[in-house]
Structure 1
Amino acid sequence: MTEHAQEDQNERERADGAAHVSTGSTTEKAEATAPAIPELVIISGMSGAGRSTAAKCLEDLGWFVVDNLPPALIPTMVELGARSQGNVARIAVVVDVRGRRFFDNLRESLADLAAKHVTRRIVFLESSDDALVRRFESVRRPHPLQGDGRIVDGIAAERDLLRELRGDADLVIDTSSLNVHELRAKMDAQFAGDEEPELRATVMSFGFKYGLPVDADLVVDCRFLPNPHWVPELRPFTGLNEEVSDYVFDQPGAKEFLNQYTELLQLIAAGYRREGKRYVTIAVGCTGGKHRSVAMSEKLAARLATEGVETVLVHRDMGRE
């Protein structure tokens, strides 16, 4: 090889090396400057169940809230948020029956979000028919779907329309007996934390005679234990009272049930985490929701907390007679 040919070859090798370094540097820079994908919460549910209140709560917590966005445009909204250079890190979208002709696109939009690895959660606001009728009558407004029929006809049509979406929801909140402040407190409990926990659990005691909680994911029946109601000196108290709690857990099977159900919940919680489910409501019931269910809920919530599950404790019927 001549001296000039050798110099030409060396020059080409240096150029190739420079190009390689330049390409690698460009790739690393592109990765470093890749837009951050915003978190997404989709708020839906029954008309009159509190969607606007839930959305306002997230807005107060710093979320960018869009009301009545057609589901087909949700991926576009997320993409625009990603281009905001971090200014829009969390987006909440309200989807309701006003945009019902777009619901056929919702499944496709959710699949698109999953393909782009967007962290999305669906919050569904639920309420009983009686509560919804009272609310619409109090504001003297028709239900969006009642047409020429009655309010209950519109509610039934909406339930049918939203049934599939409710089944896909990560968090269902029953607002039948909640006022505005209590709903805001529930939203704050789920979304106000600086860091998103792996799993949040709501443990709710209730009385079977007042009906099952409609937002329960799991239901526990404590009626296999003797009822403190029939012990005269314990009847006036609740499961928060030490004497009542001691009575409940002195019964055969009570401690064993608590231990084994806690182990079962650990298995279920692991599955929820794998499936990306962040919220679970565990309803613990007895006859009146005053003694056994309250005592069991207190112990169960404490056990879950020691397992690293962020837990909210609610006694739905404890104050009823």
Structure 2
Amino acid sequence: MQWPRSACRAYRQYKREACVGVVSSLDLVIVTGLSGAGKTKAMGYLEDLGYYAMDNLPISLMSQFLDLASQTDGRISKIAVALDVRSSGFKTQFHSMLQRLRARDIHPRVIFLEASSRVLVNRFSETRRRHPLPGSTVSESIRNERGLLAEVRELSSVIIDTTDLTVSELKDRVREAILGSQESQTLTINIVSFGYKNGLPIDLDLLFDVRFLPNPYYNGDLVHRTGFDRGVILYVLHEPYAQQFFARLADFVDFVLPHYQEEGKSYLTIGIGCTGGRHRSVVIANMLYHHLKPRAKVVHVFHRDLQK
């Protein structure tokens, strides 16, 4: 049975609209610019912001790549793609690619990175890498690339000159371009309790030793219990100095967190250690977790040695 032409047209239109509806929910950032201007570092920071990063994707594959991303049931909704002169047809296809994306209701933010020729020459000299464009000298290759990217630069949403920027300052500029100057990056806080006798965790940013607190290990009724037990909690905290310690610990962490966030840190791991990792450190780690939970967007607590 053949469908009427009008029904076929309606079905094709439905498929197009359905496809556009799915893909348009993607948050797409395109990073481009001069070689050596910091695209790799910018892409790494976008990964920290939760973007799925794809480096040097051929422009001709952009549509297919976004179609595949739209079929992940929302698991990939934020995408960062680095495009530069290494991609075949970059100069001639960039403008038409943007037009095709906008026709599908995708409005990417284009971040263009550049730097002075002097700084770029120094960076290539320090890394001893070849410039992707041919030229008798690195300076000539840089001049050629500037000419090729002139139109792309004009089409960009944000232009960042990295000549005098530190890595931290580049992160700040990328964050502002993505989140806005008033937004801050989500800082994931991991609290880890552990026992010193089993060794230090290797990825700690802050470390607090609570071995000076009353030790339930020497109480026959509590030795086989853990820091989740009410009796253990009361034992650890029954001295006034224990409660004073936690109040000062909470104040300190509250003070430093916004400064870590302003610095662009993505993860902060706080270690709480006692001798065995089953009593005192567990009590304090849980208390710190409940203190931070209403204040932080993402906070987790792990008890490394609880079962040892």
TM-score, length of structure 1 as denominator length: 0.48
